[in-house]
Chains A and B, each alone.
Chain A
Amino acid sequence: MGASTLPPDRARKLALSTFADTTFTSPELIRNFCIIAHIDHGKSTLADRMLQLTGVVEDRAMRAQYLDRMDIERERGITIKAQNVRLPWRVDGQDHVLHLIDTPGHVDFTYEVSRSLAACEGAILLVDAAQGIEAQTLANLYLALEHDLTIIPVLNKIDLPAAEPEKYAAELAHIIGCEPSDVLKVSAKTGMGVGELLDEAVRQIPPPTGQTDSPARAMIFDSVYDTYRGVVTYIRVVDGRIMPRERIRMMSTGATHELLEVGIISPEPKPCPGLGVGEVGYLITGVKDVRQSKVGDTITLERKGAKEALGGYREPKPMVYAGLYPVDGSDYPELREALDKLQLNDAALTYEPETSAALGFGFRCGFLGLLHLEITRDRLEREAGLDLISTAPNVVYRVRLDDGTEQEVTNPSDWPTGKIAEIFEPITRCTVIAPNEFVGAIMELCQSRRGQLDGMDYLSESRVELRYTLPLAEIIYDFFDSLKSRTRGYASLDYEESGEQSSDLVKVDILLQGEPVDAFSAIVHKDGAYAYGTRMATKLRELIPRQQYEVPIQAAIGSRVIARETIRAIRKDVLAKCYGGDITRKRKLLEKQKEGKKRMKMVGRVEVPQEAFVAALSTEESSDKGKGKK
């Protein structure tokens, strides 16, 4: 390890920091790359060191995971949005400009990685030297290879006592097809090896190619709504130049806008006189809706524009759906407003009004996965001050009826009542990576979730990659938790959709005193119906307070009851003692109960507290959780 653990000398820092400040850099001196990795392997921390080493962020302005700019990212310690930044770097006496994109590691946000890749020629594939290759390492590597990017394999966290750089260098080399000695070793924490890594990035990653004299073409790879500035669009220029005060055209829609501002990020937005071939930056047109500045679209100039658009991306498609309802029904307009606002920055979020007999007015929302759901709900609750109930997540089904018609079902309540010929459900290709001692446990779990083993490979002597086809519905709920607990936290999971399959599915209804509660209906496999029914009935018996009458709880498929429980009638509801001192207390208690009653939902004659809905629908407390962890 060389001298680069030391901060670069002042002179070099000064010289470098001005070089990237001016745009229209010659393409040979530009390197565009992103950092990709499994979640938590240290991408954002590595980016921190690069920001410091290049002098773009001064030491005293530094904070951990500098590019995780959203509150929710900082709180959860994960990256959700990809972030780009322009850096200067000198190699062998020659100044260069680097455009770095830090990406999220969680599978729900893979689409952020895909768009980032399209703006780059190279990718740093980062692997935690104490963990080795994990499921999203592979997933992101394959994505990068599909984009023909130059891959620089890097082991991170070599400062950790538990790091096994030799072992994992071999693993990486094996997967990528390089020599273990080609694998760089860094510590994003101490900065060790980061300078060499930047040097290598300049040497190995090819510069962008593009025609300076051709009509301008730029690819939109991100589009963000900012309250003060309107929509900020991030672009990578492929051909020509993009200059402020010109008029541009969105090639997919033909809409034209005036460019109010063009700039670069280093690390805050800075206006510049324009962007040339290979350069990454932002532009502002004054549009207020991100959908008018769509990710994947090509920008050209209005006059003498390009004829052919660049290849776009697939739009992110919701994988799971759930109903979101305000606990207090009168908050419905606020919820709509909050969703409208959130969607400005989240093209993957979809929503549509729906009504539930049990929960009132709400929205059926589409999400990329459970983390996306959780984060969206969290943000709605915090940023808009709302109290929300989310129904159990479900996938999209295609149902063919006997009369030949077909229906797409995103809500169990819309399950067709007619004679069903065939049902199709989405399936996924899953990758599980774990130490080989857990293979049996993993296979058992996947089997119980209707999984099909597609293959198994040894990454090294002791670590295995298992490939399964699993119904999406089986993995969105508590699969990951179960997997973690069965493997003492060692397994990692990645999945991607891979079409659909015909399955024997049924709709299980839950009835309170004979009345179905729509919010509790679920589509499950025939063999899992009984388990779902009993689990819900038992849960509800515990959650619903006893009422004046006996309340039967039933789980049913159509008219066939498959499980039942009873909430016995309450026999005593009176405070025995009541004299002088207790009166004020008792009145206050009564007032509190009255408030509580407002939060009750009536299902027929049965009073169901909101908390019962929340608890019955939560994924928490799955029996596997915590078990097996030390």
Chain B
Amino acid sequence: MPSTLPDGEPVPSDGSLPPEALSTFGRRPFGVYVHVPFCATRCGYCDFNTYTPGELGGAASPDSWAEAARRELELAATVLGDGRPVDTVFVGGGTPSLLGADRLVEVLGWIRDTLGLAPDAEVTTEANPESTSPRFFETLRAGGYTRVSLGMQSAARHVLAVLDRQHSPGRAAASAREARAAGFEHVNLDLIYGTPGETDQDLLASLDTVVEAGVDHVSAYALIVEDGTALARRVRRGDLPAPDDDVLAARYELLDDTLGRAGFGWYEVSNWALTSAGPGARCRHNLGYWTGGDWWGVGPGAHSHVGGVRWWNVKHPARYAGLLTQGRTPAAGREVLAEADQLVERVLLELRVVNGLPVEVLAGSARAEAEAAASEGLLDPEALRSGRAVLTRRGRLLADGVVRRLVA
């Protein structure tokens, strides 16, 4: 079951933005996120806004979605004007690879036509290993995509089974190799750790597989038991044990050590990039989320941020398409962030990144807290001396607690 949207204020039906938000547009990196809300089956742990054919029952289709997405891009161009071409594109889901490479290339073409694309743009798509092929990657690469992100989750068959994944243990790494062979320099593999039944050995084996696949990026997420999912029901019934925080912490350390030995460095709490590949290995699009960039989220349930205004689209693909057909914004609500909220978000987000947060944005009492946190081994004392709050590894594991102290 997809998670719910926040409460917010209504959005004008033409999707227009307050002038204050627009006035600074162009000064920050600008990304486009495209949400593809389709999956062949639903994984038991997933609460993303995505639908299987059975759940949709004909109420929406990839075709109606594509038509609506095109209209939303046109709306975006009207609302934003031509202040800045797109720096990064990220097509996510759901399962974008279900659309096929030609459709994905077509979508990128619409972005180029409506908003414009910077010459050095980073263009990523997510893909599920089982719905890819060498042809798929070749078409994407030729069509302008520069990066792919593959949902591997684990190399252990029994872990994939608990996660309801459709692909075989070796398939994700094979996909990654196919992508590289097709000319993709930047390939990411997603891992989930701490799945019930996973052992340290299983995680080490997954990491070996990732390193051997020759990718330049790894995202590793502790399994979250989201409310309303099949996984949550199994845990509640006692069929599966809930992931244990101490085990998750130990796995994180194991992961960070192992990736470190293989030449990967963390640049966000759950993201590592191959150091030798240079800064280009880090996902610029995602960095935009964490460092106050602007982005327009296209598609059902997609979230956007421009100049201190956050908004989000209606969730259901049929409603989404319906609104756009009527020439109205698909936005369900928005919030205009007060200055205090913006500061809280800055702390919340920038602290997660390896460059950390400049301490001058903090109030005096929060700076004292930062000093205390450094003396407790949560923040890097050296970085703090040079004016930045940067998490240590222990600090990364306790990051939410540090944030609470810095915003109190």
Contacts and interface: CB of A to CB of B under 8 A. Distances in A.
Same complex: yes
Contact of B404 (A571, A575, A585, A594): A594
B66 interface: no
Given A576-B270, A594-B407, A587 B348 contact: yes
B33 A580 contact: yes
B136 interface: no
B246 A572 contact: yes
A571 B245 contact: yes
Interface in B260-286: 269-270, 286
B335 A584 contact: yes
A98 B407 CA distance: 71
A317 interface: no
Contacts of B246: 568, 571-572
B404 A597 contact: yes
A572 B221 contact: no
Nearest to A571: B249
A3 interface: no
A574 B398 contact: yes
Interface string A575-603: 11111110111111011011001000000
B222 interface: yes
B249 A577 contact: no
Contact of A574 (B33, B269, B304): B269
B397 A587 contact: no
Given A583-B310, A590-B404, A578 B352 contact: yes
B316 interface: no
Given A572-B398, A575-B400, A580-B295, A594 B408 contact: yes
Nearest to B6: A584
A104 to B, nearest CB: 44
B252 interface: yes
B345 A583 contact: yes
B6 A588 contact: yes
A615 interface: no
B324 interface: no
A587 B303 contact: no
B376 A548 contact: yes
Contacts of A587: 341, 344-345, 348
Contacts of A548: 376, 398, 401
B399 interface: yes
Given A581-B301, A583-B349, A573 B397 contact: yes
A301 to B, nearest CB: 68
A255 interface: no
Interface string A518-554: 0000000000000000000000000000001000000
Contacts of A574: 269, 396-400
A23 to B, nearest CB: 64
Where chain A touches its partner, the secondary structure class is loop
Interface in B328-344: 335, 341, 344
A570 interface: yes
Nearest to A584: B6
B224 interface: yes
Contacts of A588: 6
B289 to A, nearest CB: 5
Nearest to B4: A585
B233 to A, nearest CB: 20
A593 B404 contact: yes
A578 B349 contact: yes
Contact of B221 (A576, A580, A597): A576
B297 interface: yes
B249 A584 contact: no
A572 B246 CA distance: 7
B403 interface: yes
Contacts of B403: 590
B312 interface: yes
Contacts of A586: 348
B248 interface: yes
Contact of B399 (A571, A573, A577, A579): A573
B245 A570 contact: yes
B270 A583 contact: no
Nearest to B192: A576
A572 B348 contact: no
Given A587-B348, A594-B404, A594-B407, A580 B398 contact: no
Contacts of A597: 404, 408
Contacts of A572: 222, 245-246, 248-249, 252, 397-398
Interface string B369-389: 000000010000000000000
A142 B349 CA distance: 74
A570 B408 contact: no
Contact of B224 (A577, A579, A581, A584): A577
B193 to A, nearest CB: 9
Interface string B1-18: 000001010000000000
A624 B37 CA distance: 52
A584 B311 CA distance: 9
Contacts of B222: 572, 576
A113 B365 CA distance: 61
A590 B344 contact: yes
B54 to A, nearest CB: 24
B114 to A, nearest CB: 20
A581 to B, nearest CB: 4
Given A585-B6, A593-B404, A576 B398 contact: no
Nearest to A593: B404
Given A571-B397, A572-B246, A590-B404, A580 B297 contact: yes
A168 B70 CA distance: 85
B407 A590 contact: yes
A547 to B, nearest CB: 9
A590 B403 CA distance: 9
Contacts of B295: 580
A583 B303 contact: yes
Contacts of B224: 575-577
Interface in B54-84: none
Contacts of A591: 344
Most chain B beta-carbon neighbours within 10 Å: one of A573, A581, A586, A594: A581
A593 B252 CA distance: 24
A579 B400 contact: no
B269 A576 contact: yes
A7 to B, nearest CB: 57
A577 B224 CA distance: 9
Contacts of A594: 404, 407-408
A596 to B, nearest CB: 10
Nearest to B220: A576
A208 B7 CA distance: 71
Interface in B275-319: 286, 289-290, 295, 297, 301-305, 310, 312
A571 B400 CA distance: 12
Nearest to A568: B246
Contacts of A581: 297, 301-303, 312
Interface string A71-111: 00000000000000000000000000000000000000000
Nearest to B345: A587
21 contacts: A568-B246, A571-B245, A571-B397, A573-B397, A575-B224, A575-B400, A576-B221, A576-B222, A580-B305, A581-B301, A583-B289, A583-B345, A584-B312, A585-B6, A586-B348, A587-B344, A590-B404, A590-B407, A591-B344, A593-B404, A597-B408
Q: Which 10 A-B pairs have the closest CB atoms?
A: A571-B249, A572-B249, A574-B399, A576-B222, A576-B221, A581-B303, A572-B245, A584-B6, A580-B303, A573-B401
Given A574-B398, A583-B348, A590-B344, 15 more contacts: A571-B245, A572-B246, A572-B249, A573-B398, A574-B269, A574-B397, A574-B399, A575-B224, A577-B221, A578-B270, A578-B349, A581-B312, A583-B305, A590-B400, A590-B403
Interface of A: 548, 568, 570-581, 583-588, 590-591, 593-594, 597
